[in-house]
Structure 1
Amino acid sequence: MENFVKSLCLVIFVSVFTFIPLSFAGSDGAPMVEVPGGKFKSGPDLHEVEVKSFKIDKFEVTNAQYKKFRSDFPAPDGKDDHPVVEISYFDAEAYCKAQGKRLPTREEWEKAARGEDGRLYPWGNEFDPEAANTADDGPGDTTPVGSYEKGKSPYGAMDMSGNVWEWVDAWNTPDKRYRIQLGGSYFDDKKKSTTIANLLSIPDDMHTFVGFRCVK
């Protein structure tokens, strides 16, 4: 009994004083990771931004997951575990909503990717070709989600640099013409695959190098 109490006290101490990323399954069965609320360094100028706590998909939404949502979707053969692409902003938004989730804001996505310290890549400030699927040393196509273990973010989210750009719930201009995608892709080099790089597209656009993930 005494040993049990000591063990319980240790667990409580670790839980209170140490943040440990935990996985949660979304309604679509997708694993999610917890991102704690608080301030972080944002943008190229590292200005301070604060967000509330949220959960984000650990991986980009895959062809297999999207096919369950839309049975008529022409998913490519042999790529069930690759990120779904050629998805408009509205398609991505509808999928997340159907799962009881939503698209991340720009600030949420950025914190999930770079943590609190404003790092340039999810793993640090120096590019590592073994940490992301980019044009620098990648196969020239999407890869199965989670293939680059070295590239995980401080909270355990995968592929937030490279593989595919990801839609976020943010406009680039006051006239609300262009939506933003973040994270770079297999089609882009290391300079465009940072945690602060962005791509602009009208919401109806669909590209072979743009996908998404959800939050709640």
Structure 2
Amino acid sequence: MTDSGGSCCSPSLGDVAPRTASASSARPTAAVPASRTSRHGIEQVAVPAGTFAMGDHHGDGHPDDGETPIHTVTLSAFDIDATSVTNADFATFVDATGYLSESERQGFSAVFHLAFAGADDDVLGTAGGAPWWYGVRGADWRHPDGPGSTIDGRDEHPVVQVSWDDAQAYCAWAGRSLPTEAQWERAARGGVEGQRYPWGDDIPARATGTHWPCNIFQGSFPGENTTEDGFLTTAPVRSYATNALGLWQMVGNVWEWCADWFDPHWYAASPRENPQGPAAGSGRVMRGGSYLCHDSYCNRYRNAARTSNTPDSASGNVGFRTVSR
């Protein structure tokens, strides 16, 4: 793995800000709807109270990601969404509240170059060091690949182009929470200790379509995706197989926001019981990898893998799932 940052994961808002405006001056204040107990209709999976060994058991992670030391964590029981929040779920929230996502208010967001749909002048710039990420005018959750795209026919795909702030707004309305990083990893592991992936330690023999265990990048990153798994970008949330708990696509497809601030040194100081993450930071944790993960560049589609982004940032490969409060 040669990637030491988030450039194949998702760029920050500042990386793809239009040349005519700084990200900090353009950022809106998110309006969070009042809490309620919910139209959140996603099937729930019960994760029992218990203890597990959190962190990288295989030496796969990049040191800057802080996947070690392995440390024992004990969690209370919680319920977690069986799938990522879908476009249909997020549309229900927006229809009920009139909420405008940060990308809609900013007027642009980050789109992977192979997925871009729009006119040349919709591209406002590219991310420094990662030119495959375009800053695209008119990209938002309704137009995830740019203004020439829609979510028609993608009701059951994960919502993307949502920031951490947007995910928090959804949770406030639905009476839910984002999972802590520890909750997310315990759920992804499905009660099986130390595995690299939700299904085991290895990628099965690589064929096509449903023979792939998850939605990641095939081909030569970033220029050619052969789509051997059937998808250039997102897959429907109930694609592939569940883990041992019945959770769909905990790795691959889209990165998922977690509640915690990110600190690469946190694991050495993390409390044993129900850790909530550091008290402060500049980025929020993201887990699970996405359709852009590739062994040659970014192998973060693993149970232990972690990265982060600023809470106001959004891109075409980041979504979320929620847990009970």
TM bucket (normalised to shorter chain) is 0.7 to 0.9
How many Å apart are 1:200 and its aligned residue? 1.4
TM superposition score normalised by structure 2: 0.55
Q: 1:209 aligns with which of 309, 313, 317?
A: 317
Q: Which residue of 1 aligns with 2:244?
A: 154
Whether 2:260 is the aligned partner of 1:170: answer yes
Matching residue within 63, 73, 78 for 2:87: 63
Q: CA deviation at 1:154?
A: 2.2
Q: TM-score, normalised by structure 1?
A: 0.82
Q: Structure 1 residue 131 and structure 2 residue 207: aligned?
A: no
Contact 1:113 1:122 in 2 (8 A): yes
The answer to whether 1:186 aligns with 2:291 is yes
Partner residue of 1:113? 188
Could you tell me which residue of structure 2 aligns to residue 21 of structure 1?
A: none
Once the two structures are superposed, residues 75-133 of structure 1 have per-residue CA deviations (whole angstroms, 9 ceiling, x without a partner) of: 22211110000001011011122111100000000000013402111111112462101
CA RMSD of aligned residues (A): 1.7
Q: Which has the higher contact order (CA 8 A, sep 6+)?
A: 2
Shift of 1:148: 0.7
Asked whether the 8 Å contact 1:39–1:51 carries over to 2, the reply is: yes
Aligned AA (1:161): V
Does the aligned pair in 2 maintain the 1:35–1:55 contact within 8 Å? yes
Q: Tell me by how many angstroms 1:48 deviates.
A: 1.3
| More helix by percentage | 1
Q: Indicate the residue corresponding to 1:10 in structure 2.
A: none
Paired residue for 1:93? 168
Segments of 5+ residues of structure 2 without an aligned counterpart are: 1-37, 57-68, 101-140, 143-150, 207-211, 219-227, 264-277
Deviation at 1:28, TM superposition (A): 1.4
Q: How does 1:10-49 map to 2 (within 5 A)?
A: 27-44=39-56, 45-49=69-73
Misfit runs of 4+, over 6 Å = none
Matched to 2:256, the amino acid is: E
Listed one character per residue, the Cα deviations across residues 24-44 of structure 1 (whole Å, up to 9, x for unaligned) are xx7511101000111011111
Identity of aligned residues (%): 39
Structure 1 stretches lacking a partner, 5+ long: 1-25
Using the alignment, how far apart are the partners of 2:203 and 2:48 within structure 1? 26
Residue aligned with 1:70, SS: helix
Determine if contact 1:169/1:180 at 8 Å carries over to the other structure. yes
1:53 aligned to 2:53? no
Task: Give the residue type in structure 2 aligned to 1:118.
Answer: G
Paired residues in the alignment total 189
SS of 2:214's partner is coil
Q: Secondary structure at the match of 1:66?
A: helix
Name the stretch that deviates more: 37-46 or 178-187.
37-46
Task: For 2:44 and 2:319, locate their aligned partners in 1 and report how far apart those are by CA, in whole Å.
Answer: 17
Q: Distance in 1 between matches of 2:50 and 2:281?
A: 28
Q: Does 1:145 align with 2:237?
A: yes
Q: Secondary structure at the match of 2:88?
A: helix
1:138-158 Cα deviation digits (max 9, x unpaired): 322101001112xx2221111
